[in-house]
């Protein structure tokens, strides 16, 4: 006995915040409509569910009772545990309209009338149609906690806390006793508190409808019973039955297979090469239970006959072989991929059309709620409508018996018995042959399995005893790693070769020179350009930025003997401010401004006008000559000044008046520092110097001051040569005196 509630929205919308929905409600028990009710609100629906406790609440779509998945969880948790929510139009993925589903049970209703839709949903669910909505797993959590805040005045605070916590603990122990009495397995997690427990969580390994505990809130204690949610909501059919189907088969090396339901809808079509009959039978079993097996040949092939006998299905063959144009006409409106699928599909469609007139007449004669597919299957098998309706519908897994034997006259009955006995004998021979084939195949299979087992054992022993496999695997891994490395290197070299080809092509242009572009004047950029295109003797580099430059990168460019470095105008100005151009001049490395060269860059290569470049290079060479002369002059001047300072120090130590020396020249020297006062500390012994004879100081006669004549400034090379020659003569004299002394 199944008691079902069927509902459908009469007005309003579950998603509306302003207008609450109203439902039409139909009560059905065992296929009989008990009562109908209109204008039922959602709170009233829950009250009716709690009072009447129906087995099923049927809806044509769960979206009528829940706007989202979260709302659906809440709706299901608010329903009584023993009431199941059933969606009659599909499993959430493959959905059908309510009229289509109702037609399977020969139900007719006005789809514009919510009351009739509610009645149809309830009847379909009572007949076993639809999908149960499952949102919770088989674990239920019972939470016992405080029902009030502890900040209450009046009583002594500690007495009140002990009372509440003690009540929570007592109620939790009562629930545990009920669960133990029901034989349910559970775990307890309690939070200890002053005087008892503040919260107790009991996890019961049972679905909500089997837990003998109800949620409540009374005084200081509250109990919540919450089933554990599934990760996703699932839909399970109320009755598991296999659909009746019509199968068309095109045998051969490539087997064509097409499956139709009893409404003529294509469920599956495929063509598989070299598939055995057992595999074809397994594929058909997965799709449904065939009541008709059809072929496009007038005489059914042996392979198709084996498959038909496996299902005890009704054979269908045309009066003559189907022509190709007839196959295309039969398969029109269906999709197929090749000739094998076309042939099997044409056979199945023509078989369906041969039974279609009988199917149309059935609808007028069947009572409401009858499983039409079950009746159709019986009609195909040769039963009368009265015979089919006298037996309740069987599950699809069970086989439908063959048509009952008709009452015949004596002679005809004897002939029929003889025919059936001959058929039975033929079938027995076929069974014996199949049994022998099966035994021989089993023997062959066992022999192959034994041989395979021996080979596996031998191979396993070889692998366990030998370490060469491991070393080879390691070597193979290293080789693969090296191969990948070489492949990457080869790829980089190909890219580099392409860029070098482009560079060479640019070099061959008329009136242009190719340049290589560097983003930054840095060693890693030089290395990158060298790896990609190479940095060779005579190359021209175009450097965009000079941030963080160093002398090491200039030395690298100089060692590479590049022809020149070109900077953009602003970069060149910054280089002059940072004395970078002087460093280039010291290394005799041309650094040119791109202001007058107008280089054109594309990616990491570019071109520059050859004539403008040669002019800029000649200007650099002229400026370089001047720079080198000035630098040599500064070096000679510095050497002379350093020598004069060193020589004066030696003369001062020897006590010689520098004015008497032939090389003495007026030098702007600072006045001598005052002599330090003598101290009592005994000075350290000074090294003995060679005695030098006192020279007679010649005081020149006073002459009236004359206006100094401007003498031409001597060259630095002449001054340095004169100083060196005077120093050598003086040093030679000192050495001779020391030797004579």
pLDDT, tens digit, for every residue of 626-663?
Answer: 888 887 787 777 787 777 777 777 767 766 555 555 54
Q: Using the predicted structure, report yes or no on whether residue 695 has a pLDDT greater than 70.
A: no
* CB-CB contact of 109 with 116 (8 Å): yes
Q: Note whether 141 and 93 are within 8 A (CB).
A: no
Residue 24 has pLDDT above 90, yes or no: yes
Handedness of CA 349, 350, 352, 356 (dihedral sign): positive
Q: CA 378 to CA 398: how far, in whole Å?
A: 13
CA 588 to chain centre: 57
What backbone phi and psi angles, to 5 degrees, belong to 108? -125, 140
Q: Which of 25-34, 98-107, 714-723 has the lowest mean pLDDT?
A: 714-723
Q: Two tokens at 529?
A: 């350009």
Which conformational region is residue 636 in: left (phi greater than 0), alpha (psi within -120 to 50 degrees), or beta? Answer: alpha
Q: Which residue has the tokens 């022993």?
A: 461
CB count within 10 Å of CB 726 equals: 15
Q: Which pLDDT score, from 0 to 100, does residue 675 have?
A: 47
Q: How far apart are the first and last CA of the chain?
A: 148
Which whole-number Å values give the CA distances from 254 to 271, 275, 279, in the listed order?
A: 6, 7, 13
| Helix pair 277-287, 302-311: axis angle to 10 deg | 40
For 447-506, what is each residue's pLDDT tens digit? 898 888 888 888 877 777 777 777 778 888 899 999 998 888 888 777 777 766 666 555
DSSP 185: -
Would you state the pLDDT for residue 26?
92
Report pLDDT digits (tens) over 371-422.
778 888 888 888 877 777 775 554 433 333 333 333 333 345 555 676 677 7
Pairing verdict, β 289-294 and 266-273: unpaired
- Residue corresponding to tokens 């307890």: 188
Segment (H or E) for 354: helix 339-365
Reading the block at residue 284, the tokens are: 């058909």
**Portion of the chain with pLDDT greater than 90, in percent:** 7
Q: Which of 363, 381, 361, 354 is nearest to 291 (CA)?
A: 381
Name the pLDDT band for 685 (thresholds 50, 70, 90): very low
Instruction: Kindly tell me if the per-residue pLDDT of 206 is higher than 90.
Output: no
Cβ-Cβ contacts under 8 Å for 328 (sequence gap 6 or more): 342, 346
Residue 389 to residues 217, 371, 372, 570: CA-CA distances in angstroms? 54, 10, 11, 100
Residue 4 has pLDDT above 80, yes or no: yes
Q: In the prediction, which pLDDT does 57 show?
A: 92
Cβ distance 207 to 136 under 8 Å? yes
Cα separation, 403 vs 410, in Å, equals 20
Give the per-residue pLDDT at 368: 67
CB-CB contact of 389 with 362 (8 Å):
no
Q: Grade residue 551 by pLDDT with cuts at 50, 70 and 90.
A: confident
The strand order across the sheet containing 564-567 reads 591-593, 564-567, 540-545, 512-520, 605-609, 600-602
The whole-chain average pLDDT of the chain stands at: 79
The mean pLDDT of 307-334, rounded to a whole number, is: 88
- Quote the pLDDT of residue 686: 37
Query: Residue 715: its pLDDT value, please?
Result: 54
pLDDT at 182 over 50: yes
Residue 143, exposed/middle/buried by CB under 10 A (0-12, 13-18, 19+)?
A: middle
d(CA 534, CA 690) in angstroms, rounded, equals 65
- Other CB atoms within a 10 A radius of the CB of residue 479 amount to 11
CB 42 within 8 A of CB 20: yes
C-beta of residue 583 within 8 angstroms of C-beta of residue 554: yes
Q: Which pLDDT does position 293 carry in this prediction?
A: 92
With contact defined as beta carbons under 8 Å apart, do 290 and 304 qualify?
no
Least confident of 28-37, 148-157, 222-231, 610-619: 148-157
* pLDDT for 154 beyond 70: no
Look at 405 and 713; give whichever has higher pLDDT: 713
d(CA 158, CA 140) in angstroms, rounded, equals 34
Identify which has the larger pLDDT, 681 or 130: 130
Given a contact cutoff of 8 angstroms between Cβ atoms, the answer to whether 554 and 584 are in contact is yes
Query: Does pTM surpass 0.75?
Result: no
Q: Categorize the per-residue pLDDT at 721 as very low, low, confident or very high, splitting at 50, 70 and 90.
A: low
As a residue count, the chain comes to: 741
Pairing label, strands 289-294, 314-316: parallel
Inter-residue contact 138 to 206 (CB < 8 Å): yes
pLDDT at 7: 92
What integer pLDDT is reported at residue 23 of this predicted model? 92
Q: Which element (helix H / strand E) includes 617?
A: helix 610-654
Give the pair of three-digit tokens for residue 660: 């008497």
């Amino acid at each position: 006995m199944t008691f079902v509630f069927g509902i459908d929205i009469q007005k309003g919308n579950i998603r509306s915040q302003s207008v609450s929905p109203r439902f039409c409600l139909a009560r059905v028990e065992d296929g009989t409509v008990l009562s109908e009710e209109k204008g039922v609100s959602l709170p009233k629906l829950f009250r009716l569910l709690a009072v009447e406790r129906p087995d099923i609440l049927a809806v044509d779509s769960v979206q009528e009772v829940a706007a989202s998945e979260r709302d659906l969880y809440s709706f299901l948790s608010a329903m009584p545990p023993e009431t199941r929510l059933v969606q009659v139009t599909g499993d959430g993925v493959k959905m059908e309209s309510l009229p289509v589903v109702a037609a399977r049970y020969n139900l007719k209703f006005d789809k514009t009338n919510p009351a009739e839709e509610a009645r149809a949903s309830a009847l379909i669910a009572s007949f076993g149609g639809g999908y149960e909505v499952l949102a919770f797993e088989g674990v239920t959590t019972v939470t016992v906690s405080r029902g009030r805040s502890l900040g209450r005045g009046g009583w002594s605070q500690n007495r009140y806390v002990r009372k509440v916590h003690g009540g929570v603990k007592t109620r939790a122990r009562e629930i545990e006793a009920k669960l133990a009495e029901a034989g349910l397995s559970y775990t307890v997690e309690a939070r200890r508190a002053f005087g008892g427990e503040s919260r107790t969580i009991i996890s019961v390994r049972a679905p909500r409808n089997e837990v003998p505990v109800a949620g409540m809130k009374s005084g200081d204690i509250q109990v919540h019973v919450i089933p554990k949610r599934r990760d996703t909501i699932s839909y399970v059919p109320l009755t598991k039955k296999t659909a009746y189907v019509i199968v068309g088969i095109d045998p051969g090396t490539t087997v064509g297979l097409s499956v139709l339901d009893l409404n003529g809808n294509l469920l599956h079509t495929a063509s598989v090469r070299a598939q055995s009959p057992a595999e074809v039978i397994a594929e058909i079993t997965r799709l449904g239970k065939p009541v008709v097996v059809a072929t496009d040949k007038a005489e059914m092939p042996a392979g198709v006959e084996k498959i038909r006998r496996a299902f005890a299905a009704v054979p269908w063959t045309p009066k003559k072989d189907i022509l190709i144009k007839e196959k295309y006409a039969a398969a029109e409106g269906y999709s197929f991929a090749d000739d094998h699928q076309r042939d099997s599909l044409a056979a199945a469609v023509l078989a369906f059309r041969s039974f279609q007139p009988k199917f149309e007449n059935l609808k007028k004669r069947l009572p409401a709620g009858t499983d039409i597919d079950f009746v159709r299957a019986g009609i195909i098998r040769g039963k009368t409508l009265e015979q089919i309706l006298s037996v309740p519908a069987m599950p699809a897994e069970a086989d439908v018996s063959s048509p009952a034997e008709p009452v015949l006259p004596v002679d005809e009955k004897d002939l029929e018995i003889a025919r059936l006995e001959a058929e039975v004998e033929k079938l027995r021979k076929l069974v014996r042959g199949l049994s022998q084939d099966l035994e021989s195949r089993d023997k062959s299979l066992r022999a192959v399995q034994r041989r395979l087992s021996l080979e596996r054992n031998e191979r396993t022993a070889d692998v366990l005893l030998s370490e060469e496999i491991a070393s080879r695997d390691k070597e193979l891994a290293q080789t693969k790693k090296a191969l990948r490395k070489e492949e990457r290197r080869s790829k980089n070299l190909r890219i580099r070769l392409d860029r070098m080809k482009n560079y060479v092509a640019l070099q061959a242009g008329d009136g242009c020179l190719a340049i290589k572009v560097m983003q930054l004047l840095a060693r890693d950029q030089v290395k990158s350009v060298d790896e990609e295109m190479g940095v060779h003797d005579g190359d021209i580099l175009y450097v965009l930025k000079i941030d963080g430059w160093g002398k090491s990168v200039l030395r690298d460019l100089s060692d590479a003997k590049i022809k020149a470095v070109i900077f953009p105008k602003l970069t060149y100005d910054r280089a002059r401010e940072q004395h970078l151009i002087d460093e280039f001049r010291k290394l005799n490395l041309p650094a040119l401004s791109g202001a007058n060269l107008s280089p054109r860059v594309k990616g990491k290569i570019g071109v520059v006008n050859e004539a403008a470049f040669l002019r800029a290079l000649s200007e650099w060479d002229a400026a370089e000559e001047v720079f080198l002369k000035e630098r040599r002059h500064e070096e000679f001047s510095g050497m002379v000044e350093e020598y004069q300072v060193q020589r004066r120090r030696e003369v001062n130590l020897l006590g010689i008046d520098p004015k008497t020396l032939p090389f003495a020249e007026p030098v702007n020297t600072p006045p001598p520092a005052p002599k330090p006062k003598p101290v009592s500390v005994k000075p350290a012994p000074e090294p003995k110097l060679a005695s030098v004879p006192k020279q007679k100081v010649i005081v020149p006669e006073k002459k009236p001051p004359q206006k100094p004549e401007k003498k031409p400034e001597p060259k630095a090379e002449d001054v340095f040569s004169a100083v060196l020659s005077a120093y050598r003569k003086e040093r030679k004299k000192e050495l001779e005196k020391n030797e004579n002394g």
